[in-house]
A = this chain, B = another copy of it.
C-alpha cells in the first residue's frame, strides 16, 4: 500500500542499534502515501534512533506501464533523491553474478556510512551533521523486471518488460505447450547443484542461512509483542477536574488531557517506548502541556522563533502529513511500542485506507498463535465537526466512526467521552489496551463538565448508562428517552431535557449517555454490544427515543436497527453549515436543543395545549436565534451563558 518506508522509520525510532533495510518498488514510489516518506530523515535522530536504508528497486514497470522514476534521466533521479536528503548509491546491471557482488559492495558501503554517521553523532564532539545536515545513504537498484524469468513467451518478450508483473508463464489445461518451457526455466537455476538426491538443500548452502533471532521471520522486531512492555500510566484522578455537581464548571476536554499526556511522557521517558504523533496539530488540539517536559523531534535547521523543536523529543508532529504520522506510528507499534495519533477529525479520512489495512493486519495476526499482541492503534480526533468558529464546511467530516466500525468488530472501538474526566478515563483505557484500533473523539473548546472522576470512571467502564441526575423517570415509566453521544450532543440533550422538564414537569424523561458506541450494536455483532435484555432495560421496547449524536445519524440507525424499540429518531451531522457561531452549526443540522424539544413533542402527542405552546416557543427561539446571530455576530446570551443547574 505504499507506506512500508514509513513503517521502517517508525520501527527504528528509539531503536538506536537497528538498521532497517527497506525495499521500495518503483511503482510504489509513485503513490501519495509514500512520496513524502522520503523526507522522514528530517525527523530521525542519529543519536537515539536507528537508521533506515531504503533500497529503491527500479525494475522499470508496474502492472502494465513503465514507472516514472525509471524513465526520468539518471541525472534527474539523482537530483530527486539528493533533494530529499539522501546520498544515493547506484547498483545497475543484468548479469546476476556481477550484480550480486555490486549489491554486496553497496550494502557494505551503506552500512559503513550509517555506522560512521551514528558514531560521530553519538561521540562527545560530533563533527558531521551540524544543523541537521546528516545525509543518510540509500541504494538505487536498477535491474530487469522478471529477472532470470522466461525471456519470451509465445513470441512476446517477458523478462525486462511490464509483462513480467503478473503471471509470466501460464501452465494449465489450456496451455499444455508451456510445460516444457516451465521445466527449462526452473532447470536454469541448476537445482542439481542446490539439492541432493532426496530433494534436501545441500549442507554448504543450508549452513549459510542465519540462525535464531537473525532469521528474518524470528526477528523479535517483526513480532513486536515479544518486546512490548506495559506503559507506566499516571492515576487519572491526579489529573481530573473537580466537578462538585454536574455543569458546575467549564473546561477544555483536550486541555485537561494535556497534563495527563505530559505525565505519560515523563513516566515512560526512561523506557523510551511512548510517542505522540500528529500532523502539526499538537498545539492546535490543546495538548501544549506535553511541551513542558519534551520537545518536537526535528533534525533540520531551526531558528530562534521556532518553539519546542529539538534533535530529540517524544512528539513527532512537525510534518504536515497524516500519511507519515500514521505510518510512523504503525511501525512504532508493530515493533512493540506505544503511541497516540492526535489529528483533526475531518482530515483523518486522508488515511482511511491505511487504517483499514492495519485493522486487517490485526485481525489476521490475532488468529496466528505465535504472534504476540501489540499495543492498540489509538486515534485522538479533536477539532471536530461541531467546532467551526473559523474553519468551515471543508473541516466537517465525522465519518471516520462509520469507517472504523465497518471493520472486523473484534478489532475496532469508538469512544465519545462527554467531558474531560471521561476523556481521561477513555484514554487511560486505550493506552492499556492491546490489538485494537481505538478512535476517541474529543472537544477542545471550554464546555460544561458533568462527572466527577469517580462517576466518569464508572460511566466509561460501562460505556453507556442512565444519568439519573438529569432524569425524572425514577418513580414512573419514562415517557421519553433522551439519548446522547459526544460532547456537543450531550450539552444539547441536557439543555433540551431541562426545557422539557421545566415546561412539562409531568413528562418523565430518561437521559442516557453513550461513551462506547459499540454498546449499541447487538451482542452477536460486536464484543461490546449490549445484550437485548440490557438494551431493552435502558431503552425500553417502545418509549420514544430522541438520540442526539455527534456523527452521521445513519450510524446510529445501523447499530440499533435490530433492537426491539423502533422509535429511534436520530439527530446528527447532515452536511450542513460552514463558518458560523458554535450554536448555529447545531441549528443548521437540527442537533440544537430547540429542534430536539420539537422532535420530542412530535413523539409526545398527549402533551396537548402545553405541548403546543412549548413547540411554538421553540420555533420562536429558532427565529430569535437566527435574527440575533445575523445582527450581533455571536450566539444569544441564553445560549452562551446557559448552565444546567
What bracket does the count of chain A residues touching chain B fall in?
A: 35 or more
Judged by a CB distance under 8 angstroms, whether A300 is at the interface is yes
Tell me, in angstroms, the Cα distance from A71 to B71 when the chains sit together.
29
A157: B residues at CB distance < 8 A: 305
A160: B residues at CB distance < 8 A: 305
Interface residues as binary, A529-569 with B (CB distance below 8 Å gives 1, 0 otherwise): 00000000000000000000000101101101110001000
A300: B residues at CB distance < 8 A: 66, 68, 71-72
Tell me, in angstroms, the Cα distance from A30 to B38 when the chains sit together.
11
Judged by a CB distance under 8 angstroms, whether A119 is at the interface is no
Tell me, in angstroms, the Cα distance from A80 to B77 when the chains sit together.
9
Task: Select which of B321, B406, B560 is within 8 A of A552 by beta carbon.
Answer: B406
Tell me, in angstroms, the Cα distance from A57 to B42 when the chains sit together.
20
Q: Are A306 and B364 in contact (CB under 8 A)?
A: no
Tell me, in angstroms, the Cα distance from A402 to B408 when the chains sit together.
15
Tell me, in angstroms, the Cα distance from A280 to B83 when the chains sit together.
27
A557: B residues at CB distance < 8 A: 557-558, 561-562
- Smallest CB separation, A310 vs chain B (Å): 12
In chain A, positions 396-414 with a C-beta closer than 8 Å to chain B are: 397, 399, 402-403, 405-408
**Best-surrounded residue of A160, A162, A282, A575 (most CB of chain B within 10 A):** A575
- Smallest CB separation, A387 vs chain B (Å): 14
- Smallest CB separation, A7 vs chain B (Å): 14
Q: Are B408 and A393 in contact (CB under 8 A)?
A: no
Judged by a CB distance under 8 angstroms, whether A33 is at the interface is yes
Tell me, in angstroms, the Cα distance from A552 to B83 when the chains sit together.
44
Tell me, in angstroms, the Cα distance from A292 to B81 when the chains sit together.
38
- Smallest CB separation, A329 vs chain B (Å): 15
Interface residues as binary, A35-63 with B (CB distance below 8 Å gives 1, 0 otherwise): 11001001000000000000000000011
Q: Are B407 and A65 in contact (CB under 8 A)?
A: no
A133: B residues at CB distance < 8 A: 73
A393's nearest neighbour on chain B, judged by CB, is: B360
Judged by a CB distance under 8 angstroms, whether A250 is at the interface is no
Q: Are B66 and A309 in contact (CB under 8 A)?
A: yes
A397: B residues at CB distance < 8 A: 353, 356
A67: B residues at CB distance < 8 A: 320
Interface residues as binary, A250-265 with B (CB distance below 8 Å gives 1, 0 otherwise): 0000000000000000
Tell me, in angstroms, the Cα distance from A394 to B566 when the chains sit together.
37
A309: B residues at CB distance < 8 A: 65-66
A318: B residues at CB distance < 8 A: 65-66
A40's nearest neighbour on chain B, judged by CB, is: B68
A576's nearest neighbour on chain B, judged by CB, is: B408
Tell me, in angstroms, the Cα distance from A575 to B323 when the chains sit together.
23
Judged by a CB distance under 8 angstroms, whether A85 is at the interface is yes
Judged by a CB distance under 8 angstroms, whether A185 is at the interface is no
Task: Select which of B27, B306, B402, B574 is within 8 A of A162 by beta carbon.
Answer: B306
Q: A83-B77, A350-B33, A353-B350 are in contact. Are A66 and B302 (CB under 8 A)?
A: yes
In chain A, positions 154-205 with a C-beta closer than 8 Å to chain B are: 157, 160-163, 166-167
A399: B residues at CB distance < 8 A: 356, 403, 406
Q: A32-B323, A73-B133, A557-B558 are in contact. Are A63 and B402 (CB under 8 A)?
A: no
- Smallest CB separation, A41 vs chain B (Å): 10
Q: Are A393 and B406 in contact (CB under 8 A)?
A: no
In chain A, positions 494-511 with a C-beta closer than 8 Å to chain B are: none
Tell me, in angstroms, the Cα distance from A554 to B529 when the chains sit together.
15
A60's nearest neighbour on chain B, judged by CB, is: B303
Q: Are A322 and B407 in contact (CB under 8 A)?
A: no
- Smallest CB separation, A58 vs chain B (Å): 13
**Best-surrounded residue of A555, A557, A560 (most CB of chain B within 10 A):** A557
In chain A, positions 72-111 with a C-beta closer than 8 Å to chain B are: 72-73, 76-85
- Smallest CB separation, A544 vs chain B (Å): 14
**Best-surrounded residue of A132, A160, A356 (most CB of chain B within 10 A):** A356
Task: Select which of B30, B36, B303, B552 is within 8 A of A66 by beta carbon.
Answer: B303
Task: Select which of B31, B284, B349, B352 is within 8 A of A320 by beta carbon.
Answer: B31
A80: B residues at CB distance < 8 A: 79-80, 83-84
Judged by a CB distance under 8 angstroms, whether A317 is at the interface is yes
Judged by a CB distance under 8 angstroms, whether A296 is at the interface is yes
A373: B residues at CB distance < 8 A: none
In chain A, positions 284-306 with a C-beta closer than 8 Å to chain B are: 284, 296, 298, 300-303, 305-306
Judged by a CB distance under 8 angstroms, whether A319 is at the interface is yes
Q: List 18 A-B contacts (CB under 8 A).
A: A27-B320, A31-B323, A66-B298, A68-B319, A71-B301, A76-B82, A76-B83, A79-B80, A80-B83, A161-B305, A349-B353, A356-B399, A360-B393, A402-B406, A405-B554, A408-B574, A554-B558, A558-B558
* A binding-site residues for B, Cβ under 8 Å: 1, 27-28, 30-36, 39, 42, 62-68, 71-73, 76-85, 132-133, 157, 160-163, 166-167, 280-284, 296, 298, 300-303, 305-307, 309, 317-324, 346-347, 349-350, 352-353, 356-357, 360, 363-364, 390, 393-394, 397, 399, 402-403, 405-408, 552, 554-555, 557-558, 560-562, 566, 574-575, 578
- A364-B393, A558-B561 are known; give 6 further A-B pairs, CB within 8 A: A31-B36, A31-B322, A32-B324, A352-B403, A402-B403, A558-B558
